[in-house]
Amino acid sequence: MSIKDPLLTDLKGILLKLKAVTRPVDDAHQETLQLFTTIEDIFKKGLKSVNTVFGLSKKDYWNWIEQIEQHFKHGRPSAKFSHMLDAVRKSKKVKTNLGRGRLFIRLALNQGLLGIPIEVITSNTRLLETCYDPLESIIGSELLVESLSSLLFWASEIKFDLNIKNSSFLDETWLIPIYRPFELVPSESLGVVVRHIWDRIIVAEVKPGSVAADENKIEPGDVMDELYGESLYATVRGKIPSLLKDHIGWPISLAIVKCHLPTGKVYPPLKARFDKMAVEYPSFVAPQDRHANGDWSGSIQGLRPGEDEEPPMESISGSSFHKVQYIGKVSTGENGGTEVIQDAVLKVLNDATNVRKDVVVELGETLVIIYDQDTKEELMKHCFPEIASCGRRMDYVKCFAFVIGDTTCSISRQFSCHLFEAKTEIEVSQNLFSPSDLT
């Protein structure tokens, strides 16, 4: 069947490009923003208004998706789908139905389940007629929704790796900012001055010598998004000192939304807040647009075959690059803990079928990327929530291992141990890991 709606034509073009990508599609991919907005426009198109005491009001697509479990014709939906809906309902990162709908789209793309709501609503005539105009919508059109279902099946075959924690601005925009988790040394104070500006906690000043000032991890204009796993979006005043007091002696676990995009532009939702900040805190210097800072990934252009730079090189983003050998991997089943590393290292070393490959390991703030040393091709990319453990055997001190889940470790059911070998033991113990990381 031919596709007759421009939105479906756009969606098809985007998905064709993404299907050609050989690695998981994350928020850094140039097509994702257009993908999000196109899917949302399809869900919104022809959505009927409802009567309220104030007159007609437009519903959000989340209104009917949230209730979709009640309309399954054959029993209940899968536990995976129900868990996804529940995660959206309970999320502290979104406060509006628009934001919840956007979070649902991101979760559904990750899980390959975006087609399920369409299957359900099109099989329930009453629900479909209540929500969509058959002449103005795609979902309500018997002809067009068939094409949409086919395209969403394509989407389910694409591996998405969208950072669901990076959701705090979905109420305002589809533009996904840079999101950086940190673990700082224990301290009674972060050493930052903050102001609550329109539901966001924005850094006004970073005190020199404080834990927050270490390596310029946090800068004025950044947004404090999480502290010890708790969302700070629209939180009450005094929450930060209260959490720090409750966790005295613990490493400070926090997540920051950076004030600059990967392009170097100031993140648009923050600009008006910076104007207000300048009034409330006169010494605040508002961030300005700058050259692209490479926060999403470093560059390995400086690594050329035959060159052995020591120590490892640093990129402008703070990532470090290490030339090592990749030995191979072995499955560790459902266990990703450090206790599997000892046996897993021996299994990889004793596997005669493994072919060693010269690679470059990029260690960033939030992810690990493995490149082919000669071709610069990206071979693997894993964010830290997917890395269950790392370590080595003391009888093979030049070897080090990552145990990686097939998804975020807290829900992963399958892990594999990847083994590498550096040129020296010092490279492993001092540059690749801190001593506390190693078993």
Residue-wise DSSP of 368-390:
EEEEETTT--EEEEEEGGGEEEE
CB 365 within 8 A of CB 180: yes
- pLDDT tier for residue 258 given thresholds of 50, 70 and 90: very high
Q: What is the pLDDT of residue 49?
A: 80
- 142 close to 118: Cβ distance less than 8 angstroms: no
**263 in the same domain as 364:** no
Q: Tell me: the pLDDT tens digits for 417-429?
A: 999 998 887 767 6
For helices 32-44 and 97-111, what crossing angle results, to 10°? 120
**Section 270-284 average pLDDT:** 94
Q: Categorize the per-residue pLDDT at 431 as very low, low, confident or very high, splitting at 50, 70 and 90.
A: low
C-alpha separations of 287 from 28, 219, 279 in Å? 22, 9, 15
pLDDT at 77 over 80: no
Output 75 or 396, whichever has higher pLDDT.
Answer: 396
What is the structure's pLDDT at 382? 86
Burial per residue of 195-229, b for 16 or more beta-carbon CB atoms within 10 angstroms, e otherwise: bebeebbbbbbbeeeebbbeeebbbbbbbbbbbee
Instruction: Return the CATH number at 101.
Output: 1.20.58.900
Q: Is residue 406 in some structural domain? A: yes
Residue 300 lies in a domain: no
The pLDDT > 90 percentage for the chain reads 53
| Higher-pLDDT residue of 334, 294 | 334
The enclosing H or E element of 276 equals helix 271-280
In a domain, 387, yes or no: yes
Residue 380 lies in a domain: yes
Whether residue 275 is found in the same domain as residue 317: no
| 201 and 333 housed in the same domain | no
CA dihedral for 340, 347, 415, 365, sign (positive or negative): positive
Q: How many domains does the chain have?
A: 3
pLDDT given for residue 315 in this prediction: 40
pTM over 0.75: no
Identify whether 170 is part of a domain.
no
Does residue 308 sit within a domain?
Answer: no
**pLDDT band of 283, cuts 50, 70, 90:** very high
Q: Could you tell me how many residues make up the chain?
A: 439
CA angle (299 as vertex; 295, 302 as ends), nearest 5: 150
Q: Are both 320 and 394 inside the same structural domain? A: yes
Give domain status of residue 290, yes or no: no
Angle value at C-alpha 85, between 120 and 122, nearest 5 degrees: 10
Q: Based on the domain organization, do 79 and 42 belong to the same domain?
A: yes
Packing angle, helices 79-90 and 97-111, rounded to 10: 150
Does the structure show a pLDDT above 80 at 174?
A: yes
Sign of CA dihedral 224, 266, 281, 190: positive
Integer Cα distance of 398 and 393 in angstroms = 9
Residue 355 and residue 225 in one domain: no
What is the DSSP annotation of 398-419?
TEEEEEEESS-TTT---EEEEE
CB 366 within 8 A of CB 257: no
**Residue 344 to residue 155: CA distance in whole angstroms:** 35
What is the CATH number for 321?
Answer: 2.30.29.30
**DSSP letters along 30-89, please?**
TTHHHHHHHHHHHHHTTBPEEEETTEEEEPPHHHHHHTGGGG-SSSPPPHHHHHHHHHHH
What local confidence, expressed as pLDDT, does residue 319 receive?
Answer: 60
Answer yes or no: do 252 and 363 share one domain.
Answer: no
Same domain, 121 and 22: yes
The residue out of 259, 280, 301 marking a domain boundary is 280
Q: What's the CATH code of the domain at 204? A: 2.30.42.10
Q: 386: domain range? A: 313-437
Query: Looking at 239, 263, 280, which one is the last position of a domain?
Result: 280
| 307 falls within a domain | no
Looking at the fold, whether 201 and 325 belong to one and the same domain comes out as no
